[in-house]
Amino acid sequence: MERNVIIIENPSEIGAGVRGAGLGPVAVRMEEHRLGNHIYSRFPFKNIDSYNHELVRESPYKHAKYIDFIQKQNERLVEEVQDELKLGRFPLIISGDHSNAMGSIAAMRDFYPDKRLGVIWIDAHADLHTPYTTPSGNVHGMPLGASLGEGYASDATNTPHANTLAAWEQLTHLGPKHIHPKVEPQDLVMIAIRDLEDEEWQDIDDNEIMNYVPARMLNKTMTEVAEESLEYLSACDHIYISFDVDSMDPSVSKGTGTSVENGLTLDQAVELLSVLYQSEKVSCLEITEINPLIDVENKMAKAVIHILRKLLL
């Protein structure tokens, strides 16, 4: 399918527990240039400024670290994505850490306020935490928790400070129209999840969230998984895809902050995304959590370039 693609580099890493994901977008671009510049010579791209410099200071928000700057960063992202949607472009976002998905989802939901938004979440993790349940305080584990709303969540294990809860309220209502929730549990599909806390498994069970753990995919092709996912979301008008590179197995590359065994192979990732990308309902794709600082020979960036070339060229 021919799309009017715009590549948006959003290098923010302030939601991650380790440094380096902010270098992911430029690592992909520089490696692609070294390999012949077939993508960036064909498609326009833009880069969003980040607040990564704020990481030199300790965050006062124990249960949602740097949430104040994550709010500001995602406001920037919402504006940039919506500007491109107005021009009829397809935002292909390469972001630092996964907390940026809050802005991507908010931009889609806010731009199409009367439409039903589906989300396909391809990730080793569910990212369903909130300040009430997070074991680390890192907000890259909370983008779906922020997007789904309060009603789905499991029992609290933390007692966040009032300032944190006020900031969380603002973050969950991200976007000019302040729509909340952004996504309903029945409009979410999770693929390749395998490293979750008990609270997240409970949320998935309680809300009957559609998911593909590795065992469920053993006897399926990725084409079947993709087609089933699209069929499950057939009532949705638009679909946002979030592809965390840790959905892939460490044998592909360990260049991500939280690699987990038993993930997708590179060929499986290509097959899955290629089928999903052909759906006319898919209106935005985000690739995230590439960390060249903990990689060897930039393998993860090379894997992402391989995926992008299969999709775009």
Interatomic CA distance for residues 298 and 294, integer angstroms: 9
Domain ranges of the chain: 5-312
In sequence order, the 6+-apart residues with CB closer than 8 A to the CB of 45 are 6, 7, 8, 9, 29
For the domain made up of 5-312, the CATH class stated in words is alpha beta
Q: Classify the C-alpha dihedral 67-255-134-143 as positive or negative.
A: positive
State the chain's mean pLDDT as an integer.
96
Give the residues across from 240 on adjacent strands: 119, 284
Enter the pTM of the model: 0.97
pLDDT tens digits along 129-184: 999 999 999 999 999 999 997 655 567 889 999 999 999 999 999 999 999 999 99
pLDDT tens digits along 255-304: 998 899 999 999 999 999 999 999 999 999 999 999 999 999 999 999 99
